[in-house]
């Protein structure tokens, strides 16, 4: 499979989960594990353009696929607009959910460049965050969406009275 | 205090560049060569005798290194608890199990798959015993959670729990009884459940222990909020000096109190590593987390208000049974005490309380975000609302009528503690104006006229945090049981390196609170060193000054102050050096733009690298001055701090499904001075979300036999993005004089203010139906039942 642009050729046990392949075989520990019921989304990666929970995806199922993880979204050291949005709008606190959130948001914006607040909330519904109350995650995605459309991002909350 | 743009300004977090690239290292991301993996055999019963354990098949399996039971580890226990009242937890169940999921045996194997296979091959024979789960049944003591031991540990009650302080207080009981007997007063009561919660940090706990036989020392990586206390505890348990235990809390993926404990797995991984001569790792699974970590809340009780018909509250009573779970751990029995610290809230009212701590056959409860204070605020603010409705007065007016007034601070409350500062009516007025309360009421009434169930909920709160004064620490809130001082000091090291960059090392244990950024702002503000030249280190006991850790909204007010004071001392010394270099008087030295200059002569400057280099060269120092440019400060506050605020929600209930939609959520918090408004708002957002989680979704549900019916995230639903609205925040600023920064603390405020705001709103929405109370969580079914119950 191709991971973040590099092709890997490995033999894996049939039961190996994609998340363990990424973390243990390739050392890509940015993809996290937060549950055992495919519920928290900390393990979200993008496989052939779709966001998937890599804890319920067998590594063999990704044979020949194009896999993107949080380590691969920046290009030439330049942050992806979604990463920039999370930084600019305080979309993370402990950071544990963040890689999965970023991947879900990247997948959303590739499909829908101009999502409304409700669409953003719906798109990240499968990614749990216990720290932020999602408020600033939504602002981060709005920031990134505007940037990717070539527009000026909305002013941050702290500059506009609510 | 200084008011430059750095302090009080928004700056992007220093923590984030690594985290958004996936480079953050959490315990589970750190690998050691040759490490082994641990897994635990857990009890399927809530209360049972252990008749036998047969591990022979497991021990014989390829790749299994050891199976340990109570016989192997009894000498390590019981697990230390800071407030050692009740039965303490053995490292592994010893003779009997007392809650579901209690660890009975530990397997150590080559990897976690083998360890889990071995767990499945261990046969434990149990003789089930009757379990007690219900709190009233536990208080009745007919079935005992530990055979032959009373379930009732103690009651926090009356005036005698803090000798020398509370015993001076007048007894509120007779005053309240007299008020009740008057015929011009009304008395209202609500019996309510404040349900058990599973804290649920998204990063499960993880431990990696490594014994170095040659050095005679441990290295222990743990996802913990209290690295120094953990190091002290491990040293004490294994009979080592504390400098032979290095604890590292790397990135910690959320804490919320659940990582504020010494856990048996931390001790057992150390033990196994020492025995086997290899690193030993354990990573908690989500499914075992409800038993392997602590839970929070779990009160049933009655709140009563007696007052006049025009809104003057004459007395408040809180009588609750509080669930401790099966074993006492770190703060367990002290959590209700924290609640009673704020039992009277923002009101100057006679207050009587009895908080009875009982043992049940369920996992231990301990600190979960707010820790006693959300429970206390919930009981008080629900019954204040009930009282307002009873006398037909606006809930905001009733509250204002009974507030402490700004000129009454410092104010000694009905429970004997002294609050530093407050301006409650101004804060509430600011909220009501901002949210257009009058307009909101008109919109609610119009919706009601259309037959819709729309309601408004209001809550005020006061929090006690910034722990704290050593007199309080001595009551059992410090780490004295862990071989540490009985004090709640903050600590910080500020070091200007020879190249003019600055290293700050702090004793906190953050888990997402942005300490690196906030502390850098404090130091930058003092020294004029650019933020990107300041590196803030924490979480490694080998390098950081002794610290108490991060919990109880204490870090900024206590450790932040220590860092502020250390940087002030560094600044004084740097001024003396700069004065020497510039041939000026130290008092004329000003710091700005990456260096120092002489007041009035902006061209007479030296840069920080020049000052710092000189500091390390005796020949460029003033005569007789010691070399180096660093300071360590320890700060012990004279009091806790008392943030406060008001929250307001507008909700709509679907009469057909019972579904609750939050239409608007407003909060006006006051945490004193603010270093980084962006970070403070983020703390409030997350806090509100957890309060709404309790109000609407979350409940740890045990059946009568003590089986947990909500062990996965599917049946323990924490809020998702789609469940929550955006929040509208603002703040008032009432500084404290407890510390020179004037800061109070904000980590828990959102949670303390929010649950009852939602419940008050939903009950208001159901008012036309005559509903007086609905217990949390307000899941559609519960609300639907309330609606249909009211409709008969
Ligand atoms: S780890 Fe939780 S969904 Fe994959
Ligand atoms: S930032 Fe901590 S879980 Fe989302």
Low-confidence ranges of chain A (pLDDT < 70): 161-162
* B90 & B58 share domain: yes
**How many domains does chain B fold into?**
3
| B177 belongs to a structural domain | no
* A99 & A58 share domain: no
Helix B424-434 vs helix B437-449: angle between axes, to the nearest 10 degrees? 50
Closest CA to B32 of B283, B282, B279, B284: B279
| A124 belongs to a structural domain | yes
Among B274, B292, B310, give the residue marking a domain's end.
B292
CB B160 within 8 A of CB B166: yes
CB B549 within 8 A of CB B482: no
Query: Which residues on chain A are in Cβ contact (under 8 Å) with B16?
Result: 86-87, 92, 95
The alpha-carbon gap from A10 to the nearest alpha carbon of chain B, in Å, equals 20
Q: Which atom of ligand 1 is nearest to the CA of A55?
A: 4
> Which of B21, B26, B225, B679 is most worth mutating to test chain A (most A CB atoms within 10 A of its CB)?
B21
Question: Which residues lie with the beta carbon below 6 Å from any ligand 1 atom?
Answer: A 33-35, 38-43, 53, 55
Q: How far away, in angstroms, is A56 Cα from ligand 1 center?
A: 8
CATH of residue B759's domain is 3.30.365.10
Question: B286–A30: do the CB atoms touch at under 8 Å?
Answer: no
Q: Nearest residue on chain B to A16, judged by CA atoms?
A: B113
Cβ-count burial B285-298 (b if 16+ within 10 Å, e if not): bbbbbbbbbbbbbb
The residues, any chain, with a CB within 8 Å of residue A60's CB and separated by 6 or more, are A12, A14, A16
State how far the Cα of B632 lies from the Cα of A45, in Å rounded to an integer: 44
Q: What is the pLDDT of residue B488?
A: 86
- Mean pLDDT, residues B358-370: 97
At B64, list the tokens.
């299994």
User: How many inter-chain contacts (A to B, CB under 8 Å) are there?
Assistant: 187
| B625 belongs to a structural domain | yes
State how far the Cα of B85 lies from the Cα of B154, in Å rounded to an integer: 8
The alpha-carbon gap from A134 to the nearest alpha carbon of chain B, in Å, equals 6
* B623 & B667 share domain: no
Residue B422: Cβ within 10 Å count: 24
Decide if pLDDT at B2 tops 50.
no
* B459 & B510 share domain: no
Closest CA to B502 of B585, B609, B429: B609
Q: Which atom of ligand 2 is nearest to the CA of A95?
A: 1
DSSP B625: P
Which residues of B28-177 form beta strands (DSSP E)? 36-42, 48-54, 64-68, 96-97, 103-109, 123-128, 152-157
Which pLDDT band holds residue B542 (cuts at 50, 70, 90)? very high
| B528 belongs to a structural domain | yes
* A67 & A86 share domain: no
Q: Nearest residue on chain B to A101, judged by CA atoms?
A: B20
Q: What is the pLDDT of residue B6?
A: 61
* B622 & B562 share domain: yes
CB of A96 sitting under 6 A from ligand 2: yes
Q: How far away, in angstroms, is A131 Cα from ligand 2 center?
A: 4
**Quick one: CA dihedral B228, B229, B230, B235, positive or negative?**
positive
Write the DSSP assignment of A5-48 as a string of letters: TEE------TT-BHHHIIIIIS--TTS----SSS-S-TTEEEET
Q: What is the pLDDT of residue B3?
A: 39
Among B635, B657, B680, give the residue marking a domain's end.
B635
* B307 & B401 share domain: yes
Whats the size of chain A, residue-wise? 162
State pLDDT tens for residues B718-727.
999 999 999 9
CATH of residue B40's domain is 3.90.1170.50
Mean pLDDT for chain B? 95
The residues, any chain, with a CB within 8 Å of residue B179's CB and separated by 6 or more, are B185, B306, B307, B314, B315
**How many domains does chain A fold into?**
2
Q: What is the pLDDT of residue B4?
A: 45
Lowest mean pLDDT among A43-52, B147-156, B470-479: B470-479
* B288 & B305 share domain: no
Q: Residue B246: give the domain boundaries.
A: 27-129+202-254+259-292
Query: Which residues on chain B are in Cβ contact (under 8 Å) with A83?
Result: 20-21
* B31 & B111 share domain: yes
State pLDDT tens for residues B708-751.
999 899 999 999 999 999 999 999 999 999 999 999 999 999 99
| A41 belongs to a structural domain | yes
* B366 & B397 share domain: yes
Lowest mean pLDDT among B195-209, B250-264, B541-555, B646-660: B541-555
* B276 & B309 share domain: no
Closest CA to B227 of B632, B546, B518: B546
| A162 belongs to a structural domain | no
* A12 & A58 share domain: yes
The alpha-carbon gap from B730 to the nearest alpha carbon of chain A, in Å, equals 8
Q: Which atom of ligand 1 is nearest to the CA of A126?
A: 3
| A161 belongs to a structural domain | no
State how far the Cα of B765 lies from the Cα of B758, in Å rounded to an integer: 10
Among B244, B272, B292, give the residue marking a domain's end.
B292
| B617 belongs to a structural domain | yes
State how far the Cα of A112 lies from the Cα of A119, in Å rounded to an integer: 9
At B758, list the tokens.
């939602």
Among A26, A44, A71, give the residue marking a domain's end.
A71
Query: Which residues on chain A are in Cβ contact (under 8 Å) with B203?
Result: 32, 34, 94, 96
Backbone φ and ψ of A43, nearest 5°: -95, 10
* B314 & B377 share domain: yes
* A63 & A42 share domain: yes
Q: What is the pLDDT of residue A161?
A: 58
State pLDDT tens for residues B165-188.
777 788 899 999 999 999 999 999
Q: How far away, in angstroms, is A126 Cα from ligand 1 center?
A: 9
* B224 & B75 share domain: yes
Q: Provide, rounded to the nearest whole percent, the portion of chain B with pLDDT above 70.
A: 99
Ligand with minimal distance to B511 CA: 2
* B342 & B434 share domain: yes
| B194 belongs to a structural domain | no
The alpha-carbon gap from B20 to the nearest alpha carbon of chain A, in Å, equals 6
* A67 & A12 share domain: yes
Query: Which residues on chain B are in Cβ contact (under 8 Å) with A40?
Result: 202, 286, 713
Whats the size of chain B, residue-wise? 792
The alpha-carbon gap from A71 to the nearest alpha carbon of chain B, in Å, equals 6
State pLDDT tens for residues B409-447.
999 998 889 999 999 999 999 999 999 999 999 999 999
Question: A121–B203: do the CB atoms touch at under 8 Å?
Answer: no
* A67 & A102 share domain: no
| A159 belongs to a structural domain | no
> Which of B8, B16, B22 is most worth mutating to test chain A (most A CB atoms within 10 A of its CB)?
B22
Q: Are strands B123-128 and B96-97 parallel, antiparallel or unpaired?
A: unpaired
Q: Nearest residue on chain A to B289, judged by CA atoms?
A: A35
* A7 & A38 share domain: yes
User: Measured between CB atoms, which of B200, B203, B726 is closest to A135?
Assistant: B726
Q: How far away, in angstroms, is A19 Cα from ligand 2 center?
A: 19
Angle subtended at Cα B92 by Cα B89 and Cα B94, rounded to the nearest 5 degrees: 80
Q: What is the pLDDT of residue B792?
A: 72
Angle subtended at Cα A116 by Cα A110 and Cα B13, rounded to the nearest 5 degrees: 75
* A22 & A60 share domain: yes
Among A71, A96, A113, give the residue marking a domain's end.
A71
Phi-psi map region of B393: left, alpha, beta (phi>0 left; psi -120 to 50 alpha): beta
> Which of A40, A72, A93, A125 is most worth mutating to test chain B (most B CB atoms within 10 A of its CB)?
A93
Question: A128–B256: do the CB atoms touch at under 8 Å?
Answer: no
State pLDDT tens for residues B55-105.
999 999 999 999 999 999 999 989 999 888 999 999 999 999 999 999 999
- Mean pLDDT, residues B380-400: 98
Question: B688–A133: do the CB atoms touch at under 8 Å?
Answer: yes
Q: What is the pLDDT of residue B442?
A: 98
Decide if pLDDT at B527 tops 70.
yes
| B71 belongs to a structural domain | yes
| A139 belongs to a structural domain | yes
At B755, list the tokens.
């649950």
Question: A40–B713: do the CB atoms touch at under 8 Å?
Answer: yes
| B125 belongs to a structural domain | yes
Q: Nearest residue on chain A to B17, judged by CA atoms?
A: A87
* A94 & A46 share domain: no
The residue contributing the CA closest to ligand 1 atom 3 is: A38
* A88 & A66 share domain: no
Mutation pick for ligand 1 pocket among A22, A23, A53, A58 (CB with most ligand atoms within 8 Å): A53
Among A71, A91, A114, give the residue marking a domain's end.
A71
CATH of residue A32's domain is 3.10.20.30
Decide if pLDDT at B307 tops 80.
yes
| B171 belongs to a structural domain | no
CB B756 within 8 A of CB B750: no
Q: Are strands B601-607 and B411-412 parallel, antiparallel or unpaired?
A: unpaired
* A93 & A140 share domain: yes
CATH of residue A141's domain is 1.10.150.120
Closest CA to B266 of B211, B210, B227, B209: B209
Q: Residue A35: give the domain boundaries.
A: 2-71
CB of B202 sitting under 6 A from ligand 2: yes
DSSP B544: S
| A155 belongs to a structural domain | no
Query: Which residues on chain A are in Cβ contact (under 8 Å) with B695?
Result: none
């Amino acid at each position: 499979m191709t991971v973040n642009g590099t092709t890997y050729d490995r033999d894996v046990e049939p039961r190996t989960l994609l998340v363990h392949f990424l973390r243990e075989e390739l050392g890509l520990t940015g993809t996290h594990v937060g549950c055992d019921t495919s519920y928290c989304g900390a393990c979200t990666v993008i496989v052939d353009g779709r966001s998937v929970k890599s804890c319920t995806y067998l590594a063999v199922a990704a044979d020949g696929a194009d896999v993107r993880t949080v380590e691969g979204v920046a290009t030439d050291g330049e942050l992806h607009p979604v990463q920039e949005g999370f930084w600019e709008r305080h979309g993370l606190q402990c950071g544990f959910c963040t890689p999965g959130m970023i991947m879900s948001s990247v997948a959303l914006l590739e499909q829908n460049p101009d999502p409304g607040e409700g669409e953003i909330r719906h798109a990240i519904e499968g990614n749990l965050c216990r720290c932020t109350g999602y408020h600033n995650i939504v602002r981060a995605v709005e920031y990134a969406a505007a940037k990717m459309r070539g527009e000026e991002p909305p002013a941050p909350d702290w500059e506009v009275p609510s | 205090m200084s008011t430059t743009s750095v302090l009080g300004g928004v700056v992007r977090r220093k923590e984030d560049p690594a985290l958004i690239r996936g480079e953050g290292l959490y315990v589970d991301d750190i690998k050691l060569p040759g490490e082994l993996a641990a897994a635990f055999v857990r009890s399927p019963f809530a209360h049972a005798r252990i008749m036998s354990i047969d591990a022979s098949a497991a021990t014989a399996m390829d790749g299994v290194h050891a199976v340990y039971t109570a016989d192997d580890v009894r000498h390590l226990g019981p697990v230390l608890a800071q407030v050692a009242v009740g039965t303490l937890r053995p490292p592994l169940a010893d003779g009997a199990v007392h809650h579901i999921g209690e660890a009975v045996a530990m397997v150590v194997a080559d990897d976690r798959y083998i360890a889990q296979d071995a767990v499945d091959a261990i046969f434990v024979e149990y003789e089930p015993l009757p379990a007690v789960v219900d709190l009233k049944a536990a208080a009745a003591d007919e079935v005992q959670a530990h055979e032959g031991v009373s379930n009732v540990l103690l009651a926090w009650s009356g005036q005698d729990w803090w000798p020398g302080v509370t015993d001076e207080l007048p007894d509120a009981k007779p005053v309240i009884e007299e008020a009740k007997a008057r015929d011009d007063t009304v008395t209202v009561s609500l019996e309510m459940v404040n349900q058990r919660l599973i804290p649920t940090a998204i990063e499960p706990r993880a431990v990696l222990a490594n014994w170095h036989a040659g050095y005679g020392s441990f290295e222990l990586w743990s996802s913990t909020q209290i690295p120094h206390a953990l190091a002290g505890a491990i040293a004490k348990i294994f009979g080592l000096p504390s400098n032979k235990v290095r604890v590292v809390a790397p990135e910690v993926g959320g804490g919320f109190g659940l990582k504020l404990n010494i856990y048996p797995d931390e001790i057992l991984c150390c033990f196994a590593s020492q025995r086997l001569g290899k690193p030993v790792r354990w990573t908690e699974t989500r499914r075992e987390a409800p038993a392997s970590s602590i839970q929070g809340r779990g009160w049933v009780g009655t709140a009563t208000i007696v007052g006049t018909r025009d809104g003057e509250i004459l007395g408040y009573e809180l009588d609750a049974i509080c669930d401790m779970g099966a074993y006492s751990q770190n703060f367990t029995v002290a959590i209700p005490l924290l609640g009673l610290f704020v039992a009277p809230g923002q009101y100057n009212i006679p207050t009587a309380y009895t908080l009875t701590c009982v043992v049940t056959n369920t996992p231990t409860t301990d600190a979960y975000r707010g820790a006693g204070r959300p429970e206390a605020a919930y009981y008080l603010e629900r019954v204040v609302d009930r009282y307002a409705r009873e006398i037909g007065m606006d809930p905001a007016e009733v509250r204002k009528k009974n507030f402490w007034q700004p000129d009454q601070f410092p104010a000694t409350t009905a429970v004997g503690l002294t609050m530093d500062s407050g301006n409650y009516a101004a804060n509430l007025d600011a909220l009501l104006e901002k949210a257009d309360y009058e307009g909101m009421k008109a919109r609610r009434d119009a919706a009601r006229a259309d037959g819709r169930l729309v309601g408004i909920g209001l809550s005020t709160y006061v929090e006690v945090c910034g722990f704290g004064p050593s007199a309080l620490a001595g009551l059992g809130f410090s780490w004295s049981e862990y071989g540490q001082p009985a004090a709640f000091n903050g600590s910080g090291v500020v070091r200007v390196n020879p190249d003019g960059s600055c290293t700050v090392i702090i004793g906190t244990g953050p888990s997402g609170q942005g300490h690196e950024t906030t502390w850098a702002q404090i130091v930058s503000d003092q020294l004029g060193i650019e933020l990107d030249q300041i590196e803030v280190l924490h979480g490694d006991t080998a390098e950081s000054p002794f610290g108490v850790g991060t919990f109880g909204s204490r870090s900024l007010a206590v450790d932040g102050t220590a860092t502020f004071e250390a940087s002030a001392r560094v600044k004084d010394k740097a001024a003396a050096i700069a004065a020497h270099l510039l041939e000026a008087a130290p008092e004329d030295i000003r710091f700005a733009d990456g260096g120092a200059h002489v007041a009035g002569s902006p061209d007479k400057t030296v840069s920080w690298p020049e000052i710092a280099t000189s500091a390390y060269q005796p020949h460029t120092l003033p005569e007789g001055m010691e070399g180096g440019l660093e300071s360590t400060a320890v700060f012990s506050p004279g009091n806790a701090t008392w943030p406060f605020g008001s929250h307001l929600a507008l909700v709509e209930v679907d009469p057909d499904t019972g579904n609750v939609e939050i239409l608007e959520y407003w909060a006006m918090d006051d945490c004193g001075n603010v270093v980084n408004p962006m970070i403070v708002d983020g703390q409030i957002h997350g806090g509100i979300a957890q309060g709404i989680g309790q109000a609407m979704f979350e409940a740890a549900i045990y059946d009568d036999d003590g089986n947990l019916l909500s062990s996965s995230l599917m049946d323990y639903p924490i809020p998702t993005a789609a469940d929550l609205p955006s929040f509208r925040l603002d703040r008032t600023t009432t500084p404290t004089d407890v510390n020179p920064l004037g800061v109070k603390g904000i980590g828990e405020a959102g949670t303390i203010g929010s649950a009852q705001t939602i419940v008050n709103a939903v009950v208001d929405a159901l008012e036309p139906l005559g509903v007086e109370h609905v217990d949390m969580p307000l899941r559609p079914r519960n609300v639907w039942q309330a609606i249909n119950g009211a409709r008969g």
